[in-house]
Amino acid sequence: MTEEIAGDQKVMGRFRVNGDEHHVAYAPHKTLLEVLREDLDLPGTKHGCELGECGACAVLVDGVPTLSCLLLGLEATEREVLTVEGLADDARLHPLQAAFADLGGSQCGYCTPGVLVTAKALLDETPKPTREQIQEALAGNLCRCTGYLQIFEAVEAAAEECAP
Amino acid sequence: MMRVPQFRYLAPKSVGEAAKILRGEVPSAQLFAGGTDLIPNMKRGQQVPKTLVGLRGLHALREVHADGGLSLGAGLSLSSVAGEGRIPLAQRALIMAAGKVATPQIRNMGTLGGNLCLDTRCNYYNQNYEWREAIGFCKKAPDGVAIQEVTHGTCWVAPSSPRCWAVNSSDSAPALIALGAEISLVSADGERRIPLAELYHHDGMAFLSKRPDELLTQVHLPAVDASWRSTYWKLRRRGSFDFPVVSVGAAVSLDAGGVVQAARVVIGAVTSAPVVLDASALVGAPLTDEAIAAFADAAVKPARPLDNTDFHLSWRKRVVREYVAGALRELRGDTADQLGLLARSAARILPLAACS
Amino acid sequence: MSEPELNTKDATPSSTPDDLNKAAFEVIGQPRRRVDGRSKVLGQTPFADDLKLPRMLHMRLLRSPYPHARIRGIDTSRAERADGVKLVLTGADLPIPYGILPVSQDEHPLCPDVVRFVGDPVAAVVADTEEQAQAALRSIEVDYEVLTTIASAEEALEVHEPQIHRYAQSGNIHKRVALEFGDVPEALDGADHVFEDVFFYQGNTHLPIEQHASLAALDPDGKLAIWSSTQTPHYLHKALAKALEFPAHKIRVIACPNGGGFGGKSDPFNHEVVACKAALVLGRPVKVCLNREEVFYCHRGRHPVLMRFRTGVKQDGTIVGMDLETLLDGGAYGSYGVASTFYTGALQTVTYEIPRYRFRAARAFTNKPPCGPKRGHGTVQPRFGQEIQLDKIAVALGKDPAELRLQQLVKDDSLTANYLSISKIGLRQCIEKVVEGSDWKRRWGKLPEGRGLGLACSSYLSGAGLPIYWNKMPHSGVQLRIDRMGAVTAFCGATEIGQGSDDVLAGCVAEVLGLDPHDIHLRTGATDITPIDLGSYSSRVTLMMGNAAIEAAERARSTIAAAVAEKLSVPKGRLVFAERRVFDSADPEQGMSFQEAVILAEAKFGTLGSVGSYTPPVSPARFKGGGVGPSPTYSYSAAVVEVEVDPLTGWLHVHKVWIGHDIGRALNPVLVRGQVEGSVYMGLGEGLMEEQTFRRLPPKLSHAAVHKFPSLLEYKSPTALDMPEVVTYLIEEPDPRGPFGAKEVGQGPLLPIMPAIANAVFDAVGVRVDETPISPEKILAALDLKAKGKPARTGPKGFPTIEWPEPFKVAPPWEGGDGRADDDPKAQRRAISEVRS
C-alpha cells in the first residue's frame, strides 16, 4: 500500500542519529538538516546555501556522504545518520578530528563538520587513500579558509593513525 | 534558511502503484527520486508541486540486469552507475559522465533517471523567487513557478524568441545517446521503449517527450563488441559542482585497420536538448586529422550556446569544435600527452586512451 | 600618549631585542594544535545561527526588487495580520542613519525613502517561525517610483542626476582624492622610458561559508544583547547605540566565532540593527539568518577598479617616478569606501623605491551592493597593475623580472615618498626563495610554448595605524585575571574569525607566564566583559592584541615574580617562568609550581589582575589623507606561479605555486602556513574565476540591474580539485615592532597571486591579460589578436577623463619634506631622514 504523509501538520518520526534513537514530531516538509538542527538539537551540522552547492551540511546516511539540505527528513527516518557530533569515541577525538585540530585542517571550522564526515566515509572505504582520491572525495565540500592542502594532509595523517 | 514549501508525500511500493498515482494526480504530482534537482527548485520556488511521489521504496528501479546488453534501473544512484563493474569498457562514456556529475555527495543521492530528466537550466531561471521577481518572471516560470507550455513572459536570454532557451545540462544524456541507449517509460497504460534521443525536445520548457503520467524505469545499453570505444568530455569552470556548459559524448566502432564502422557523436549543454550530430561522414574512413577537423568544423553549426550559462557564449562555441575533435582523437588512440591539457581537464576519471 | 593607569615600574616594553634573540621559546614558533581546535572538530564552536534562546522569534527582511527607486508608500497591514507575525518594522521606525566611517553615515537599518540596489532592505517581519516571517513578507505592499539606474563607475561619471546620495562630492562621484609626493611630471619627463598601462580589476566577494546571522535579546535587566557573526563587535556596538538611540553602556555585543569573514563581516549590517530594534520592542529574543542570496547583497567586497599607471624608469629599469590614477565602483553606500579609495594608492611605495609618486583616485556610487574591505583591502587591485607593469618593463628592457625587483627594493628602517615608515623588509629573501624553488633562472622564458612562469611581489599592513574614528585611545586591550587555582583567564575584544586570534592570545600569554596555551581560559569578542579591541580587520590582531597580551602578561609575571623572589630570597631578575613552574635560573631545583607562585602573590598583593594595551606609533605622515597606509610594520610576499595554457581554447591550468612570506616570526607555524595557503587559494579564485558581476537588462524591458548569480554554484569558488601544489617559505626575521617579532599573514600572501598568474600566462603564450579574472575567454581573445599580428592583449581600452582636484603636494623626505603638505602653514621643509641617497 502506498504510504501517505500530509504536508500541513507535524508527524512523528524515528530518527537514528549517532547511535541514539529520537522519536520526535517534525514538519514533514523539513529536510534532514532542519530536523537535525531544529528538532534534534544537533547544531553541529552547518548550512551554507541549503541548495546542495557547498557541502557544509554533509552527514553520513547509512555510511554514505549525503547532503542533509537536500534529503527530506521523512526519507531519513529509520536510517543510520552520523553527524559530526557522533564522530568522537565518547570524549576521545576520532583520529580525523585530532589530525584536523593538530594540522590546520580546520580554520574557521564552519565547513569542518561536513568535511570530517565525508573524509570518514572515505577512510572507511579506502583506508589508505592517495592524494587524488582524497581530492575527489572532498570535491563536494567548499572551504574558503584553508586552500584545502592542510585538510588533505590531515586526512593522510589520520589514515596513518587508523592503519593497523 | 531556504526551506521546502509544504507538499503531500506519497510512497508507492511498486512501479504499478506509482503509475496509478501519477495517472490520478497529474498535473499536481511530481516524481521524486534523489531530490538533488527538485529540492533546490522547490526551495527557490521554481517548482511547487502539491504532491511528491517518492520513488525511494521502488527497489526494482535500482536493479541492474544483463540481458544481452545491460539494463540499468533509473533509480540507481549516479555513484552506483559510475562504479558499476558490469558496464563494459567500450561503454565507459557513461561511467565518465555519471562520475562527473556535480559532487560526490550529489552523486550519492541523485539518480540516473533524475539526471536524464534534469530540469533545463538557465541563469535567469535558477534563481530565487525574489531575484526572478526583480527582473520580471520569465517564460519558463511566468508566475514564478515553472509551467510546461508557453503562455506569457519574456525569455530574458532571447527576448524576441517565441520559445524558452533553458539548457539541457544532463551529463548522462549525451553519453548515453552516444552509446545508443534506449529507455523504458511506464504508465498506467503499460510500458513503451524508445531511443533515449527521442526523450528530448528542443524546447526549454517542454523538454521531455515523457508524459507527466509516465515513469522512466530503465535505461538499456545495447550489447557491444570490442570494436567499440567511447568517451565523455565535459566543460566546466571547476573540477566539481558545475553543470556542463559544453559536453561531448562520443562512441565509435573501429575495425582492425582503424576504419570507422559506426559512430555516434552527441553535444550536450549547448541548447535545450542534446544535439545528435550526423556522423555518417566519419564512416568508412580512418579518423585522420583531416577527417576529424572537417567533422569538428561542421559540429559547431548546430550548437547554439546562449548567454545563460557560465562562460562567454562565443567561446563555448569555439570549445565545441575542440572538444569534438579532442574526443575523436582520444577515441582513435591518441595518448594523454598528445591530447594535452584540454583532455586532462575535460575527460578526467578514467585513464585516457584506456580503450586503445 | 597617556600611560595606562595600571602601568607598573616593572613592566618592560614588549619585544625588546633581548626577547627576540631568546634562544628558545616554549610556545612561540612551535607547531601545535590551536586552542580552539578541539571545539571546531567536534562541531561545538557556537556560530551565531547555532544559538537558541527561550521564546525566540525569527526575522526576515523584505528587500527592494528595484536598483534605484523612491518609496512612495508601504502598506504593512496585511503582513501584520498574517499567521504568527509579532511585529513589522519599516524605515519610519528606525530613522537614524549609521555607517562604519564617520564621514559616510549613509545607511539606514531599513530604507526610509530611497532604495539604492536590488536587495536593499525596506521592511522587516518578526514571527514565531522563519517560514511565517518569510510568507508575510510577500503581503507587504510597497509603492515604488522607479529612478534612473546607474550601473557602472563610467556611467556614474556621466550621469549626475539623479544622485544616489546627496552628500556625494559631485554628481555620483562619492569621493576624489589627489596626492603628489615630489614633482612627478618632471620625473617622468626625465625618465629614459615611460610605461603607460591600463588595468581593470573585477569586483569579487568574500563568500564565507557561514551566512551572516544574529540573535538579539533584551536582557532581563533591560540591557540589550546581540550575538552576531561580526568581525568588529566594537564598531557594531557604536552603530547600535547611534541608530537605536540606546545608551552605549547598556549594550553588549558578543561576536560569535565567525564561519569565515575575509572582511565581509566588518560593517554594522541592517539585519543586526533591525533585530536589536525588534528585540527592544518585543522584549523577546529575535534571530535572523541571511540566506546565500542576501549574503551577496551584504557584499562589502572587492571594489571593481579601473586604473592607469604611468611609470618612468631609467634604462636599467630603476623607477624614477610613478603616476597612478584609479576609479573605483563603490556600489550604493559608503561603507569603508573612503578608506578603500586611499588604499588604492597607499602601498605602491613600500616594495620598490619610488622617488616621486602621484596618486589620484575617485570612487563612484552605483546602484549595486556596496563594496568595502576584502582581504587586502583596496591594495590588491593596484598591486595587480603594478606587478604586471613591472613584468612588462622587464621584458621591454630585456631584464629578468626578479632582478629588476631586487635592484630597487625598499630598505630596512626607511621612509617612503608618502611617509610610510618601514621597519624590517624581508622581501629580498622572499624573492630569492621562490626564484630558487621554482628554478626560475633556468626556466623563466625558456619553457616550451604553452608553459610559463610568472613572478610578483606584494606587501600589506600589519594593522592600520589609525582607528576608524580618530582618537588617542589604545587599539587593543588585554586583561588577565589570575587566581589561587593557578588559573589564568585572558580577556580581549578581538574576534576569532578562523584566523586564529584566540590562539595568538593564548600563545602570547602562555609564553610569558611559562604555561601551556591550552591552560589559558579565554573570553574574547564580548563588549561587556572584554577590553576593547577594534576588530579583526586590516591584519591588525596579531600585532596589536599580541603586543597588548605580552604587556599584560609581563606585568602579571612581574607581580608574581616579586612574591616568589621574596619567598626564595633570589633576585627577581633570576626567576624563570617555564613548564608551569617559577624557578631560579641559577638553580632550577629552587622553585615552585605556577599555582604556588600565584598563591604567594595573591596573599602578598591581593586579588591579581593585569592589563596591557597597544597603540600604534604616530605616523610621520602629517598631510590630509596620510591616515590611510601607515602601519606599525609591513609584511612582504613574493610568489612564482607556473601555468599551462591550451593554445586552441585559452584554457588555463595552474600547476604549482611557490610563495615566500616575510612573517617576522611565526607564532604558530601551523596557522601561519594555513593563512598563507588560504590566501593563495583566495588569490587563485580571484585571479582565475571569481567575479561579482551584474545583469543590466534592456532598459525598455526592465529596470533591473541584478547580481548575475548570487549563488554558491554560479559564483565560482575553487574546489578541492582546483587547488594546485603550493610550496610555502616562511621568512623569519623578527620585527622589533611585532609581538615576539611577528608580522601579519592573513592578507598579504593573497596579493602577488593574481599578477603572477597574468605574468605566467605571458611567459606561456606571449599574451597579456590586463584584467581579472584571467579567464580562458580573455586569453583566447588575446591569442586571436596575436595570430593577426595585433597587440596581444585583453584588457580595458583606456581610462576616462576625470576632473581631478589639484593634488595635495607633499615633498618626499629626500627632497626636504617633513610629512606636511606644502600648503600646510606648519610645513618646515627639513629633512626627516637621509635613508635614501
The per-residue pLDDT for range B273-296, each reduced to its tens digit, is: 999 999 999 999 999 999 999 999
Q: Which of residues 88-107 of A touch B (CB under 8 A)?
A: none
What pLDDT is stored for residue C1 in this prediction?
34
Question: What does the pLDDT read at residue B352?
Answer: 38
Beta strands B51-54 and A64-67 are unpaired
| Sheet bearing C213-218, strands edge to edge | C85-90, C121-127, C57-63, C286-289, C213-218, C224-228, C251-255
CA distance readout (Å), C313 to C191, C243, C263, C356, C815: 5, 51, 36, 11, 19
Any B CB within 8 A of A154 CB: no
* B44/A69 Cβ within 8 A: no
SS3 B178: helix
Dihedral, B201, B204, B209, B214 alpha carbons, nearest 10: 160
> Using the beta-carbon criterion (under 8 Å), do A46 and C47 form an inter-chain contact?
yes
Q: CB distance A118–B2 less than 8 Å?
A: no
C497 touches chain A (CB under 8 A): yes
Distance from CA of C777 to the nearest CA of B (A): 6
Evaluate if residue B151 carries a pLDDT over 90.
no
Asked, as a colleague might, if the bond just before C773 is cis with ω within 30 of 0, I would say yes
- Best to test chain B binding among C125, C696, C714, C778 (most B CBs inside 10 Å): C714
Alpha helices in C420-490 (DSSP H): 427-437, 440-443
Strand order in the sheet with A80-82: A20-26, A11-17, A80-82, A58-61, A64-67
Closest CA to C266 of C370, C154, C193: C370
- Beta strands A20-26 and C114-115 are unpaired
Pairing of strands C808-810, C173-181: parallel
**Strand pairing partners for C415?**
C421
Number of Cβ within 10 Å of residue A57's Cβ equals: 28
Asked whether B263 and B283 are in contact (CB, 8 A), the reply is yes
Q: How far apart are CA C790 and CA B344, in angstroms?
A: 31
Tell me whether A55 touches chain B (CB under 8 Å). yes
Q: Which of A53, A109, A148 sits opposite C723 (nearest CB)?
A: A148
Q: Which of C40, C50, C717 sits opposite A142 (nearest CB)?
A: C717
Task: Give the closest-approach CA distance of C754 to chain B in angstroms.
Answer: 17
DSSP code of residue B310:
S
C-alpha cell at C7: 602601568
pLDDT tens track for B75-96: 999 999 999 999 999 999 999 9
Mean pLDDT, rounded, of chain C: 95
Query: Is the separation of the CB atoms in C197 and C388 below 8 Å?
Result: yes
Domain range annotation of chain B: 228-346
For residue C690, give the nearest of C669, C705, C708 by alpha carbon: C708
pLDDT, one tens digit per residue, over C705-744 is: 999 999 999 999 999 999 999 999 999 999 999 999 999 9
**Alpha-carbon distance values, C130 to C57, C288, C625 (Å):** 8, 8, 45
Residue B148 has what pLDDT? 67
Q: Judge whether A6 is closer than 8 Å to chain B, CB to CB.
A: yes
Joined grid coordinates for residue C549: 597580551
SS3 C698: coil
Question: What CATH architecture does domain C17-30+473-614 belong to?
Answer: 2-Layer Sandwich (3.30)
Residue of A nearest to C256 (CA): A108
| DSSP 8-class letter at C413 | T
The answer, for C24 touching chain B at a CB cutoff of 8 Å, is no
Whole-angstrom Cα distance, residue C286 to residue C225? 11
Residue C698 — very low, low, confident or very high, per pLDDT cuts 50/70/90? confident
Among the partner-chain residues A29, A66, A136, the one whose CB lies closest to the CB of B105 is A66
CA-CA distance, C193 to C315, in Å (whole number)?
7
Q: How far A112 CA sits from the closest chain B CA (Å)?
A: 15
Percentage of chain C surpassing pLDDT 70? 96
Which CATH number does the domain C305-466+622-794 belong to among 3.40.30.10, 3.30.365.10, 3.40.50.2000, 3.30.497.10? Answer: 3.30.365.10
The answer, yes or no, to whether residue C130 has pLDDT greater than 80, is: yes
Contact check, Cβ <8 Å, B9/A137? no
Which pLDDT score is estimated for C827? 59
Predicted confidence (pLDDT) at residue B104 exceeds the cutoff of 70: yes
Per-residue confidence (pLDDT) for residue B150, from 0 to 100: 63
Give which of A88, A81, A65, A71 is closest to A16, Cα–Cα: A81
pLDDT band at C587 (very low <50, low <70, confident <90, very high): very high
Q: What angle, 0 to 180 degrees and rounded to 10, lies between the N-to-C axes of helices C233-244 and C270-282?
A: 60
Q: Would the pLDDT of B349 be above 50?
A: no
Q: How far is C465 from chain B (nearest CA, A)?
A: 39
- Is the pLDDT assigned to residue B355 strictly greater than 60? no
- The dihedral built from the CA positions of residue C486, C491, C497 and C503, taken in this order, carries a sign that is negative
Grid cell 569579487 in the structure block, residue: C204
Looking at CA atoms only, how far is residue C211 from chain A in angstroms? 6
For B328, other C-beta atoms within 10 Å of its C-beta total 26
Position B144 scores a pLDDT of: 77
DSSP states of C22-79: -S--SSTT-----TTHHHHHTT----GGG---TT-EEEEEEE-SSSSEEEEEEE-HHH
How far is residue C385's CA from residue C196's CA, in Å, rounded to a whole number?
A: 11
The C-alpha cell 522519536 sits at: A23
Q: What is the arithmetic mean of pLDDT over B249-270?
A: 97
Contact between A156 and A163 under an 8 Å Cβ cutoff? The reply is no
Q: Number of helices and strands (H, E) in chain C? A: 20, 33
pLDDT tens digits along B291-320: 999 999 999 999 999 999 999 999 999 999
In angstroms, rounded to a whole number, what is the distance separating the alpha carbons of residues C259 and C278?
A: 25
Residue B131 in contact with partner chain C when CB distance is under 8 A: yes
**Which of chain C's residues have a Cβ under 8 Å away from the Cβ of B241?**
713, 719
Residues of B in contact with A50 (CB under 8 A): 1-3, 43
pLDDT in tens, B221-252: 999 999 999 999 999 999 999 999 999 999 99
Q: What is the rounded distance in angstroms from the CA atom of residue C510 to the CA atom of residue C493?
A: 18
Q: Which of A8, A69, A107 to mutate to test the interface with C (most CBs of C within 10 A)?
A: A107
Query: Is residue C689 within 8 angstroms of chain B, CB to CB?
Result: yes
Q: What is the pLDDT of residue B272?
A: 97
C158 CB-contact burial (10 Å; exposed 0-12 / middle 13-18 / buried 19+): exposed
pLDDT mean over C494-521:
98
Helix (H) or strand (E) holding B97: helix B92-98
Mean pLDDT of chain A: 96
Pick the range with the lowest mean pLDDT from B127-136, C692-701, C763-772.
Answer: C692-701
pLDDT band at B344; cut points 50, 70, 90: confident
**Chain A residue with minimal CA distance to C720?**
A139
Report pLDDT digits (tens) over C596-628. Answer: 999 999 999 999 999 999 999 999 999 999 999
Per-residue pLDDT tens for A88-113?
999 999 999 999 999 999 999 999 99
Give the pLDDT of residue B27: 75
Angle between helices A149-162 and A95-103 (to 10 degrees): 140
Read off the pLDDT of residues A22-62 as tens digits, 9 standing for 90 and up.
999 999 999 999 999 999 999 999 999 999 999 999 999 99
Check: CB of residue B175 under 8 Å from CB of residue B97.
Answer: yes
- Per-residue pLDDT band for B149 (boundaries 50, 70, 90) equals low
Confidence (pLDDT) at C831: 42
State mean pLDDT over C178-193: 98
pLDDT for C13 beyond 70: no
Residue C15 has pLDDT above 60, yes or no: no
Mean pLDDT of C77-99: 98
- Tell me the domain boundaries of chain C: 17-30+473-614, 48-147+208-296, 305-466+622-794
Give the C-alpha separation, C535 to C493, whole Å: 7
- Residues contacting residue C532 through CB under 8 Å, at least 6 positions apart: C234, C473, C474, C476, C477, C493
Query: Is a pLDDT exceeding 80 seen at residue C488?
Result: yes
CATH topology of domain C48-147+208-296: Aldehyde Oxidoreductase; domain 3 (3.90.1170)
Residues A8-25: what's their mean pLDDT? Answer: 95
Which of C580-612 are b and which e, b meaning 16 or more Cβ less than 10 Å from the residue's Cβ? Answer: bbbbbeeeeeebbebbbbbbbbbeeeeebbbbb
Cα A146 to Cα B3: distance, rounded to the nearest angstrom: 29
Q: Cα–Cα distance between C270 and B252 in angstroms, integer?
A: 60
As a whole number, mean pLDDT of residues C656-660 equals 98
What confidence tens digit (pLDDT) does each residue in C32-55 have? Answer: 999 999 999 999 999 999 999 999
Over residues B34-55, mean pLDDT: 96
Cβ-based neighbours of C606, under 8 Å, separated by 6 or more: none
The chain B residue lying nearest C781, using CA atoms, is B315
**A89-122 core/surface letters (b: 16 or more CB in 10 A; e: else):** eeeebbbbbbbbbbbbbbbbbbbbbbbbbbbbbb
- Long-range Cβ contacts of C565-573 (<8 Å, 24+ apart): C566/C600, C566/C604, C567/C592, C567/C600, C568/C592, C572/C10
Best residue of B32, B39, B103, B237 to probe chain A, by most A CBs closer than 10 Å: B103
Taking residues B142-162, what's their average pLDDT?
A: 80
CATH no. of B228-346 = 3.30.390.50
Distance CA A76, CA B325 (A): 45
Residue that has been written with the C-alpha cell 609575571 in this structure: C557
Chain C closest-CA separation from residue A44 CA (Å): 4
Q: Is C790 exposed, middle or buried (0-12, 13-18, 19+ CB in 10 A)?
A: exposed
**pLDDT of residue C833 exceeding 80:** no
CB-based contact (8 Å) between A47 and chain C? yes
CA B155, B156, B159, B165 torsion: positive or negative? negative
Tell if the CB–CB gap between B1 and A30 is shorter than 8 Å: no
Is residue C754 exposed (0-12), middle (13-18) or buried (19+ Cβ within 10 Å)? buried
- Residue ranges and CATH numbers for the domains of chain A are 11-86 (3.10.20.30), 95-162 (1.10.150.120)
d(CA C643, CA C769) in angstroms, rounded, equals 14
Cis status of the peptide bond prior to C162, with omega within 30 of 0: yes
Amino acid, res. C347:
L
Q: What is the pLDDT of residue C55?
A: 98
C-alpha cell, C201: 580589476
Place of cell 604611468: C310
Chain centroid to Cα C6, Å, comes to 32
**A2 vs B contacts (CB less than 8 Å):** 10-13, 17, 21
Contact assignment for C41 to A147 by CB distance below 8 Å: no
A133 touches chain C (CB under 8 A): no
How far is C621 from C827, CA to CA, in rounded Å? Answer: 12
Q: Going along B246-326, which residue ranges are E strands?
A: 246-254, 260-268, 275-276
Q: How far apart are CA C565 and CA C573, in angstroms?
A: 9
With an 8 Å Cβ cutoff, the interface of chain B facing chain A consists of 1-13, 17, 21, 34-36, 39-40, 43-44, 54, 56-57, 102-106, 108-109, 239-241
